[in-house]
C-alpha cells in the first residue's frame, strides 16, 4: 500500500466513524482497519492519524496519548488489538424478595447500638438578653 492510499482510507473511515453510533464506535474502528499494522499506520500523514485518534477519544474510546516512545500509529494499533467492552446491562433477578427490608451484613441490634444517642443528657446553653451599652438620658 502507498502512503496516499493509506491516508485516503483513514480519511474515509473517519467519515464513516462520525456517522456511527457512540456505542458501536470501537467495533466499527476495528472492522474498518482490520489487518492494519503499525507500519501501515505510519504511512499516513501524522495530522490524519491525530484526527482519527481525536475522533475515537471524543467518542469515549480509550486511546493512549502519543508521547515520547509511543507514536500515534502505535496508539491506534494498540487500540485495534483491544477487545470490545461488553455493553453494561442491568440484570434483574427473578427471585422474589423475602421481605421488604434490606438484608444487613451485621446484626441489626449491633448497628443500632453504634448510632444511638449518648446516654448522658447534653447540657443546654442558656443565653441572657443582651444589656444595652448606653442608657438614654432624660435631658431636655
Q: How confident is the model at residue 115 (pLDDT cuts 50, 70, 90)?
A: low
DSSP helix/strand/coil, 15: helix
Q: 86 with 60: CB under 8 angstroms?
A: no
Residues 79, 84, 87, 92: what is their CA dihedral angle, to the nearest 10 degrees?
Answer: -130
Which string of b and e fits 86-121 if b means at least 16 CB within 10 Å?
eeeeeeeeeeeeeeeeeeeeeeeeeeeeeeeeeeee
Top-confidence residue, 103 or 16: 16
Secondary structure (DSSP) of 24-83? GHHHHHHHHTTT--HHHHHHS-HHHHHHHHHHHHHTT---PPPBTTB-HHHHHHHHHHSP
DSSP helix/strand/coil, 4: helix
pTM: 0.58
pLDDT at 14 > cutoff 70 = yes
Q: Which sign does the torsion angle of CA 30, 24, 55, 17 carry?
A: positive
Which pLDDT tens digit goes with each residue over 34-78?
Answer: 999 999 999 999 999 999 999 999 998 888 887 887 889 999 999
Amino acid at each position: 500500500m502507498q502512503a496516499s492510499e493509506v491516508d485516503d482510507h483513514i480519511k474515509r473511515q473517519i467519515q464513516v466513524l462520525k456517522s456511527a453510533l457512540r456505542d458501536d464506535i470501537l467495533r466499527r474502528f476495528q472492522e474498518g482497519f482490520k489487518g492494519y499494522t503499525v507500519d501501515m499506520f505510519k504511512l499516513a500523514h501524522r495530522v490524519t492519524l491525530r484526527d482519527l485518534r481525536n475522533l475515537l477519544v471524543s467518542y469515549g474510546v480509550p486511546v493512549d496519548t502519543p508521547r515520547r516512545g509511543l507514536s500515534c500509529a502505535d496508539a491506534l494499533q494498540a487500540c485495534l488489538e483491544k477487545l470490545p467492552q461488553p455493553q453494561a446491562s442491568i440484570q434483574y433477578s427473578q427471585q422474589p424478595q423475602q421481605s421488604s427490608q434490606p438484608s444487613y451484613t451485621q446484626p441489626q441490634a449491633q448497628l443500632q447500638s453504634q448510632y444511638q444517642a449518648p446516654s448522658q443528657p447534653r447540657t443546654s446553653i442558656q443565653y441572657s438578653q443582651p444589656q444595652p451599652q448606653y442608657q438614654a438620658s432624660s435631658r431636655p
